[in-house]
Amino acid sequence: MLILIAGPYRSGTGDDPQKMAENLKRLEAPSYALFKAGHIPMIGEWVALPVWRAAGGAAIGDALYEEIFHPTAHRLLQLCDGVLRLPGDSKGADNDVRIARERGIPVWFDLKDVPGVTG
């Protein structure tokens, strides 16, 4: 399955690049376990960041950022077979969960609940 990993990225960081990088690292943490279970992990920022940079994005939260980041996750959800929602406040991740549920896509809140993941 293609599984979107959703959780805090920008939320609670005050747009501090170091804090955002730490959040991305937390989002990436379950990716190997998903891969070992036969899935393809996906994080919206893996797609949105290079698109934003290529478009000339200059500052977190600028018009291009708003145009690209959340719509990227929505487009990915058209392709994903599941969502792993990590802990932490995030309006974007909560919206991903809402969209997934509307589309009948399974949502897991614990890595060990994802089919095929062991330990």
Domain boundaries, the chain: 16-48+80-111
pTM of the model: 0.94
pLDDT of residue 118: 86
Q: Is 89 helix (H, G, I), strand (E, B) or coil?
A: coil
* Distance of alpha carbon 90 from alpha carbon 78, whole angstroms: 20
Q: What is the pLDDT along the chain (119 residues), one digit of tens a residue?
A: 999 999 999 999 999 999 999 999 999 999 999 999 999 999 999 999 999 999 999 899 899 999 999 899 999 999 999 999 999 999 999 999 999 999 999 999 999 999 999 86
Q: Which helix (H) or strand (E) holds 36?
A: helix 31-36
Residue 75: both structure tokens together: 């487009």
